[in-house]
Structure formats: C-alpha cells, structure tokens
A = this chain, B = another copy of it.
C-alpha cells in the first residue's frame, strides 16, 4: 500500500529539530510491506496542512500525520483536521479519562487547557496514548486511512508499535515480506562488504540486502518478498546460515537485539555480575547497561575515573603504573579492570582508557587510541584500538567494542 508521512511543525522547517520521527516510522512501515512514497514537512498553519493532506490523498492510500497535537496555541492540527473532514470537535470521555489518569500519576490537577486535549474530531476513532495526554486519531474516508499522532517520539512510537502497525498489517494482506537483520561488530562497512561480496552477489533477486551502519556496529538487513511465507523463511535461514559461516566471529545477535541486552541476558542466566571502570567512555557503558530494566540483578556499579587521582585513589591503580606507562596503556587499563572486579565485588569487569578527542592526542598516542580490558574470574584480556577523530563517535565505538569483548568471554 502506498503510504505518505506528513510531519507538522515550524520547528522542523527552521531546522531546530531533525525529523527522526519520519525515518523511524518509515522503517516500521517498510517491515510490513508498506511503501513510503513521500515524506512532507509542513507548517503549523491551517491552509498548508489542508493542501498537504489533499495532495497526499491524491497519491497515497494511507497518510500518517505527526505533530501539532499539544495543548498549547501553536498546535492547530485537530481543528484543521475538522476543516479537512468537514466535521467538528467533540468531547471524548475515554480520552479525558486518560488525561486524568496521567495527571493523577504525576500528582497534578487537570486544568482547562488539558481538558481541551480530550476533544477530538467527531469522525475519528481514538488511539490510546499511555504516555501523554493527546490521543491519537484514526480516520477513514473515501477508501483512504488517515492517522494523526503526537510529534513527541516517546508518545508516537508506542502508538505506532502497539496500534497502528498491527492494525495496518492485519488489514492489508499483501505479499509476505520477511526481514532478518544480522548484527555485526568489529569490522567497518566497506571491509565487510568486500568480505561477503560473493555471498551477496549470489542472493536471488527477491531477497535484498541493506547495510545499516552505526558507530561501532554494522547491521545487515535481509528482506525477502514473495507469496509463500514458509518458503521465504526457509530460504532466508539458508542464506543466514551461509553468512554465519563467513563471519561468525563478527555476529553478535539478530534483529532488535542490542549488545547491552545480550550481555545482560547472559549475565543473568549465568547468575554473574558486572562492574565497569571507565575513563574515556565517561560512564557511557554504565549508562547503556542501566538503561535496561532489571539490570540491577547483574550490574554492581561503576567507577568513572576521569582524573588520574581517581584511578589511583578509588580504583587503586599503582602510582608507578601510571607514571611509567601513562593512563592510556595496557598496564593501566588492566589494573583498572582487575581492581574494579575486586573493589566492586563482581565476577566480570570492563575497563576503558583512551583519547576520545578532539584534544589530548600525541604522535605516539593519537586521538582515537583506546585500550579496553575485560577482567574475568580466569584472566584479563586487553586490546588496543584506533578509532577516529570524533569524540562522541569514539565513545560509542569503544562501548560497542567493550560489550562485544565481554560477550565473547561470556559465551566462552
């Protein structure tokens, strides 16, 4: 089905906010075989929105709209939808109860402004919004589907995943499309492409490969399309099997897995615990681990030893080690990992020390030089890496690499 996305908001048109909603939504729609044929960003302005809707309706069957549903005056989408559908706003009890629930949870009183959030165009069906006060709205007119959702990603995403995507998937049973994403860590996109070239060239035309690189990892997404889903799954499994044969050492997971979830699951299953001692990653490894619900079952804590005195005083790295080899060295990072394991009383510990940049590089240790250690009950493994020039990219790459080193130790 032909789908268009309309993002409403002046903040997008002046470049203050990047339209990440549209790309996330496009990804989700793609998975269920919906083709996004156009994305339009338009102004918080009645006439612009109506024109954009009319033009989209000439091309597409499904039109998903985000933005412009907040309680304040610059959000005019609801009234505009009434104009477009030639209907009026009515008070919706279900939406109001949600507003009340949300406010009660936060310990606030419902104000007049918030009560207005429960008003919706008469011809729509409400889409529940568990994370905010503005309900989503589902419209059908002249064989077209229109969906309007808030622009806040944290509210829009669950509405898409739990309601819009399943409903669209159920309704339009087109060709079967299956996806399998193979997650790799440890080799850049172009080297990886060369390594798997013959395998890629041998893929049949109805199976497509996309490279989805992110700092430190490359995701390989296979999409197969056809009328026999079982047959597609069988074929897909064969191709993945062949790929595994080529790059088994690089594959850390599949589909929506994340490295922090994978190591978390392994630690939990084995009843083991983890601690980190971070210099150049500055707490980002700990943050990624603790962003997973339930991580307190296996994560003891971290020491972010940014200053050398913290490496000495809290992590008990030898003064001589720091003097002789420097903070960015095999010796220091090993001691950091081993001592963190002792001090924080964990089975495993990760340590990082490096030059994230942009300053602090030397000829011997240029920006991007990063040492990573993993201390286990049996031994400590240490590796040196040379990443790039960009600070935050280096932090993310070091974190992905550290997780994968730990994962390899955990799987044995």
**Residues of B close to A16: CB separation below 8 A:** 23, 27, 181, 210, 212, 221
Q: Contact at B287–A105, with CB atoms within 8 Å?
A: no
Given A15-B30, A154-B393, A359-B293, A304 and B304 contact (CB-CB distance below 8 Å): yes
* A32 at interface by CB-CB < 8 Å: no
The smallest C-beta distance from A71 to any residue of chain B, in angstroms, reads: 5
Q: Contact at B291–A299, with CB atoms within 8 Å?
A: no
Contact with B along A371-412 (1 / 0, CB 8 A): 000000000000000111111110100000000000000000
* A127 at interface by CB-CB < 8 Å: no
**Residues of B close to A209: CB separation below 8 A:** 73-74
Contact with B along A160-180 (1 / 0, CB 8 A): 000000000000000000010
* A113 at interface by CB-CB < 8 Å: yes
* A226 at interface by CB-CB < 8 Å: no
Q: Contact at B15–A18, with CB atoms within 8 Å?
A: no
Q: Contact at B314–A306, with CB atoms within 8 Å?
A: no
CB < 8 Å neighbour of A306 from B72, B108, B300, B356: B300
Contact with B along A61-77 (1 / 0, CB 8 A): 00000000011111000
CB < 8 Å neighbour of A105 from B12, B74, B343, B388: B388
Categorize the interface residue count of chain A.
35 or more
Q: Contact at B299–A301, with CB atoms within 8 Å?
A: no
Contact with B along A20-38 (1 / 0, CB 8 A): 1011111110100001111
Q: Contact at B38–A41, with CB atoms within 8 Å?
A: yes
* A302 at interface by CB-CB < 8 Å: yes
Q: Contact at B26–A13, with CB atoms within 8 Å?
A: yes
Q: Contact at B296–A300, with CB atoms within 8 Å?
A: no
* A208 at interface by CB-CB < 8 Å: yes
Interface 9-mer from A136-144, A189-197, A232-240: A189-197
* A331 at interface by CB-CB < 8 Å: no
Contact with B along A287-322 (1 / 0, CB 8 A): 101110111100111111111011001100000000
CB-based closest 9 A-B pairs: A282-B290, A283-B286, A283-B283, A15-B26, A15-B27, A302-B304, A39-B41, A301-B310, A15-B23
- A-B contact list, 19 entries, CB within 8 Å: A11-B221, A12-B23, A13-B26, A13-B35, A15-B28, A15-B30, A16-B27, A16-B210, A19-B22, A55-B55, A106-B386, A107-B386, A282-B286, A283-B286, A283-B290, A283-B302, A287-B395, A300-B307, A313-B345
